[in-house]
Amino acid sequence: MHTMVNNNLLRMDNVGIVVESLDEVISFFTELGLKLQGRFMVEGEWAGRVTGLGDQSVEIAMMVTPDGHSRLELSRFLNPPVVADHRDAPVNALGYLRVMFAVKDLDELLTRLYKQGAHLVGEVVQYEDVYRLCYIRGPEGLLIGLAEELNAK
């Protein structure tokens, strides 16, 4: 079956995560290895027209991976107030699951992240001789995947 290629998509810019404490979450993702690219307020009816929330006031922190290709947009809503909380949903819940990061020296990284309050969801598991993988819960129960490629150059 022949499928037409969609040439409109250029890249994925970021994944958005709504949090209660920007400072705590920024600190955690900084320890993970992301850099704070900027922190700013998004306010007004124009933004509400995009989100469908009406007049809104949101503090945003944009974090970027070391290679500059991936970003997390962390948002703290001041107005309107948060209406739902999905952070502690189990891994098999419907909806967005987690963000997966490729890392090196997984054990050393986990030791540092534990000091930031992270904990393992299950176990660190080796998949064949390709990856060591785990899921952790970071600040505010955020689910994060970590994958260390074995024999990486």
Could you read off the pLDDT of 32-51 as tens digits, one per residue?
Answer: 999 999 999 998 888 888 88
Q: How many CB atoms lie within 10 A of CB 144?
A: 20
On whether the pTM is more than 0.85, the answer is: yes
- Inter-residue contact 98 to 144 (CB < 8 Å): yes
Closest-CA residue to 140 (of 36, 30, 21): 21
Cα–Cα separations (whole angstroms), residue 132 to 15, 62, 79, 104, 141 = 24, 28, 41, 10, 22
Quickly state the pLDDT bin for 1 (edges 50, 70, 90). Answer: low
Residue 30 host element (H or E): helix 22-32
The predicted pLDDT at position 87 comes to: 84
* Nearest residue to 74 (alpha-carbon basis) of 93, 90, 58, 87: 58
